Chains A and B, each alone.
Chain A
Amino acid sequence: MTVKLTERMQAWIETMGCHLCVATPQGVPYVTLGRFASVTADDEVAFALAQDEYGIISTALKTNPWVALGVSKQGGIRASFQFKGIGRVVTQGPLFTGIAAEAKEAQGIDTYAVIYVKVSEIYCTKPGAEAGQRLDMMTPDEVCEWEKKRWQDIPRKNTK
């Protein structure tokens, strides 16, 4: 099924950043912060990580490329989704320098690695009967409608 992050999902991800979680093949989890996030395609998010932030997950990511992410700060409550996908690490070239420059300008981050996550699974984490529901089984239009029935708040529009 095609995955397309909704306008609201994109806004929360880019405004708040994300907590990124990886795990070793043995199932040992590691969490780091993706303070700067940029949606680079309908189903792809890039995170600029400083060296210490990347260091937490680098070993696990080399053996298991799956990354789970949830929106940080207030977004963890308001944008109650979990996204999963394959992560790809980029440390040089235009795919690195573009995101690194944006992260430096926006948050002063000295980027060591950029992780591109190709989102292929979306889960609802809203407390209640729908918690854990897998949303990427719906079409992108259906996901949009499903979300609009529950939430209308888009941080970029509300705060600027």
Chain B
Amino acid sequence: MRFVATHMDDKILIADMFLLKTKMNIKENPEVAVAICHPLEEGRWWVFRGKAVDIEYGFPRDFDWYGANATDILNEWGNWNKSEPPDEVPPDIVFPKAAQRGVVVIHVEEAYSIEPGHAGEKIL
């Protein structure tokens, strides 16, 4: 995921950009886990768990997800490709054309470690 941010003290935001299968999964089941994939070292052995919603452009602007407001989210991150163009992504990986449909907001409820020797230990 190239477009990721944190919001408030307990939210992870991910651009709904080509999510497709993930979007369907979240609509069926909001329970999600997010793990750091790369780089793993330097203390980034984390898995965050919580509940997710995809705040799409058509959502009521007063929609609230555990304190996160749809208007605030979409105003700041609703056109992520424009505000943070992925210039550093190699040409064989980057998508040819951005198509954002919203922002996935994950309300983090707990986090645990996957560091070898400490896997499963609760962090948050």
Contacts and interface: CB of A to CB of B under 8 A. Distances in A.
Interface of A: 19, 21, 23, 26-33, 35, 50, 52-53, 55-56, 70, 72-78, 80, 109, 123, 126-129, 131-132, 150-151
Contact of B37 (A23, A53, A76, A128): A76
Given A19-B37, A72-B37, 13 more contacts: A27-B28, A27-B29, A28-B31, A31-B114, A33-B116, A33-B119, A52-B116, A73-B38, A74-B38, A76-B38, A77-B93, A78-B93, A132-B20
A53 B116 contact: yes
9 closest A-B pairs by beta carbon, nearest first, are A76-B37, A132-B21, A128-B95, A132-B20, A52-B119, A29-B33, A27-B29, A131-B18, A53-B119
| B17, B19, B33, B94: most-surrounded residue (chain A CB, <10 A) | B33
A72 B96 contact: no
A132 B31 CA distance: 19
B92 interface: yes
Contacts of A80: 93
A93 to B, nearest CB: 24
Contacts of A35: 116
A127 B17 contact: yes
Interface residues of B, number: 32
Per DSSP, are chain B's interface residues mostly helix, strand or loop, or mixed? loop
B73 interface: no
A74 B37 CA distance: 8
A59 B118 CA distance: 18
B21 A127 contact: no
Given A19-B37, A128-B18, A131-B20, A29 B49 contact: yes
Interface in B1-40: 2, 17-22, 28-29, 31-33, 35, 37-40
Contacts of B120: 32, 52-53, 55-56
Nearest to A71: B37
22 contacts: A23-B31, A27-B29, A28-B49, A29-B32, A29-B49, A31-B114, A32-B119, A52-B118, A53-B119, A55-B120, A56-B114, A56-B119, A72-B40, A73-B39, A73-B40, A80-B93, A127-B18, A127-B93, A128-B95, A129-B95, A132-B20, A132-B21
